[in-house]
Structure 1
Amino acid sequence: MKKYDVAIIGAGIAGASIASEIGAHRSVLLLEAEDQPGYHATGRSAAFWTETYGGPLVQPLTSASRDFLENPPREFSETSFLSKRGAINISRDEEAHLAEKFVADFADSEVAMEFWNPDQMRALLPNLKEGWSNAVYEPDCCDIDVAALHAAYLKDAKRKSVDLRCRSRVVQIERLGDGWAIEAGDQHFHSDILINASGAWADEIAAMAAIMPVGIQPYARNIVQIETDPPSSPNRPLVVGLDGSFYFKPEAGGNYWISPHDEIPDVPSDVAPDELSVATAIDRFEAVLDVEVKKVTRKWAGLRSFAPDRLPVIGFDPDDHGFFWFAGQGGFGIQTAPAAAQLAKSLFLKEPPNPGLEKIDAVRYGPARFH
């Protein structure tokens, strides 16, 4: 039974980022059930960074992650993970109140946003149909190179001697004195502390360790890639419905990524695309832009896992300080990864937070709020 200071369950963006942060301070085992890390939620991201995504209580983590993503430490990456996109949040003629509420929700933040009139909207969306006259523009919205970010975290963790074990699904966890006995795959390990970064499986892992689950629910989100006539222009902005019913993003090659912004309750699994959701995505897209959808070129689904209050769960379990939660990151886990992992590191090592994180209320994200 090989022994470690820490065992992290899950090597998606959550597990990889916290492994990178604490790898230089503890001996770390990183367990991944699949053949390769990031197979589930991380590998199926819509790949954008926008400060308003997730709401005003998630925004501080997103904003605090920007500098790292834009200008990462040279030893971590020689290139930025962000590229400018811009986002237009829109609503129908009769829904001006949605735009007003959207801006009001972030009034206490420093998020850059502007009310736009129809002429400004059509300058960037020349195919916009009639009936859409309210818009809030976010100039700082960016695309994220998710694969590069995840790979950089894994590479940095390896450089810090983190032991990554793929094809190692956890099948048993047992409290053993002051530590944990873990059976994963056909191997046995021991760790002093367990970090639950298992995404959709977070409550299952907690129950396996005899820890009270916090109510993390996986939801399926469908994304469709379509080819249109006229084709998309890759420099166009992300477009988000202020009523929460769609978003779409132009891609290179003349395609769009579109989503009905659906949340279908599911169980932890390798979720497949839902045909009704695919049809809904196309229908809602065609209600916004006057373009012809020629064909679906790709479709996929991923699980986004939320705690009951839709905030991340970060910190030691109040009933067992050998169990650390790093889960419930919904659809914002990529864009908040740097700040969330740095915050988790400070809580885990019981040290002051990094500069820039001092004003973030860590208690707000702690698991004790569910007890």
Structure 2
Amino acid sequence: MTAPIHDFAVIGAGMAGASIAAELGRHARVIVLEAEETPGYHATGRSAAFWEECYGGPGVVPLTLASGGYLAEHGFLERRGALYIGRAEDRAAMDRFVETFAGTGVGIERLGKAGLHARLPHLREEWCDAIWEPACADIDVAGLHQHYLAIARKAGVAIRCRARVTGLSRDKGSWSITTACGDTIRAAAIVNAAGAWADAIAAMAGAEPVGITPLRRTVAQLRVAPAAPADLPLVLDISGRFYFKPDNGRLWLSPHDEVPSEPCDAAPEEYDVALAIDRFESVTDWQIEGVERRWAGLRSFAPDRLPVYGPDPRTEGFHWFAGQGGFGIQTAPAAARVAAQAILGLGRDALTEGIDTSIYAPSRLAGAKAAATG
């Protein structure tokens, strides 16, 4: 058999696939296979678009903080600030939140009622406790995605859309990859950046799925009166029942839902939109004049809700870059670098030094599906 044309075939061209392809493309011959007509059609194109230090929990914080400098340096962040809010009965949850992130390097400040209401107009009186996170910022998601696609293309990475993978087989040290359009691509190794489809790709390759679960998240765009001020912070319920943020005078609102789903082109359910509005009206006295848009995306998690980066422990030439939940965009720079270093056997650099990458290794989840079903 002749040598494979590609060193790596990356499956998926969302933020995960684009960023890992850009990193691998500096060192190897790479092709990206995307099922849809354009890259970023699913989770990447439906992000609520914020960089928030606490999002994803303490295990994700090192990736988020390491990525923040890169995102700011390249002009992808615009400071907004975030407020976690609660009522008197939520004080214990507030205390736990502060304790959870103590010593992680995130910047948070406890606010009283006066400080909360000064930052958040139209808030109902019973909301009296808050945690202020000043560093929270909006992310230019489309710009960041195109940034990585451009780096990949400049490095010679081939990006092929409308190339849904339908078959994977390995023989004599390389993979044969068949696509829905009838092509066969050969590569020495595969990088599974397929998001909600990651376990399905693993099964197709004969690798053991690690228990990646897609969860639907709903967002609605509201027209409110008065219009939402441009400097309104991201607002999150400490109990995880909603969040909202401004967008050109409108509000983006989510019920913070996590509804298990099959991998699919996710669509919003009327119930979830209505639930979000009901919760919003219990928090503020803003008048809702209309729901202008609604959408949903799938956020995919491993069983321990940490990402999965690096070589599969049992299947030769198969690598994971998946399970990034809702934090895959805000951690993209450090995550892609960490994964590329693990896949290529490279040492750490300034972006990744100090990150304990062992907690993201696929080996920690060996047998996860069998354990979950047994």
Q: Deviations over 1:222-250 (max 9, x none)?
A: 00000011110011100000101110001
Unaligned runs of 5+ in 2: 367-374
Alpha-carbon shift at residue 126 of structure 1 (Å): 1.8
**C-alpha separation in 2, matches of 1:15 and 1:356:** 19
Alpha-carbon shift at residue 289 of structure 1 (Å): 1.0
Report whether the alignment pairs 1:285 with 2:287: no
**C-alpha separation in 2, matches of 1:45 and 1:239:** 16
* Counterpart residue number, 2:47: 45
Q: Which of 264, 270, 273 matches 2:268?
A: 273
3-state SS of the aligned residue for 1:235? coil
**C-alpha separation in 1, matches of 2:285 and 2:269:** 25
Letter in 1 for 2:114: D
Report whether the alignment pairs 1:181 with 2:183: no
**C-alpha separation in 2, matches of 1:186 and 1:124:** 56
Higher deviation after alignment, 44-53 or 180-189: 180-189
Letter in 2 for 1:339: A
Q: Which of 105, 113, 118 matches 2:113?
A: 118
TM-score, with normalisation over the residues of structure 1? 0.96
Number of aligned residue pairs: give it.
363
* Counterpart residue number, 1:133: 128
Q: Which of 170, 174, 177 matches 2:165?
A: 170
* Counterpart residue number, 1:210: 206
**C-alpha separation in 2, matches of 1:353 and 1:295:** 50
Report whether the alignment pairs 1:101 with 2:103: no
Alpha-carbon shift at residue 98 of structure 1 (Å): 1.1
Report whether the alignment pairs 1:366 with 2:322: no
Identity of aligned residues (%): 51
* Counterpart residue number, 1:328: 323
Letter in 2 for 1:306: F
Higher deviation after alignment, 182-191 or 261-270: 182-191
Q: Which of 285, 308, 315 matches 2:310?
A: 315
RMSD: 1.0
CA contact (8 A) 1:248 1:256 kept: yes
Q: Deviations over 1:128-158 (max 9, x none)?
A: 1011111000000000000000011001100
* Counterpart residue number, 2:34: 32
**C-alpha separation in 2, matches of 1:103 and 1:355:** 29
* Counterpart residue number, 1:23: 25
3-state SS of the aligned residue for 1:22? helix
Report whether the alignment pairs 1:221 with 2:217: yes
**C-alpha separation in 2, matches of 1:11 and 1:214:** 21
**C-alpha separation in 1, matches of 2:362 and 2:26:** 25
Which structure 1 residue ranges, 4+ long, deviate > 4 Å from structure 2? none
3-state SS of the aligned residue for 2:316? strand
Alpha-carbon shift at residue 363 of structure 1 (Å): 1.0
3-state SS of the aligned residue for 2:156? coil
Report whether the alignment pairs 1:247 with 2:243: yes
* Counterpart residue number, 1:262: 257
Alpha-carbon shift at residue 356 of structure 1 (Å): 3.9
Letter in 2 for 1:28: V
Higher deviation after alignment, 182-191 or 298-307: 182-191
Alpha-carbon shift at residue 321 of structure 1 (Å): 3.4
**C-alpha separation in 1, matches of 2:316 and 2:109:** 45
Letter in 2 for 1:139: P
**C-alpha separation in 1, matches of 2:35 and 2:252:** 29
Q: Deviations over 1:177-197 (max 9, x none)?
A: 101000013210110010000
CA contact (8 A) 1:343 1:354 kept: no
**C-alpha separation in 2, matches of 1:126 and 1:153:** 38
**C-alpha separation in 1, matches of 2:351 and 2:338:** 10
Letter in 2 for 1:317: D
Q: Deviations over 1:38-88 (max 9, x none)?
A: 00000000000001000111111001100100003xxxxxxx000000000
3-state SS of the aligned residue for 1:183? strand
Q: Which of 55, 58, 66 matches 1:56?
A: 58
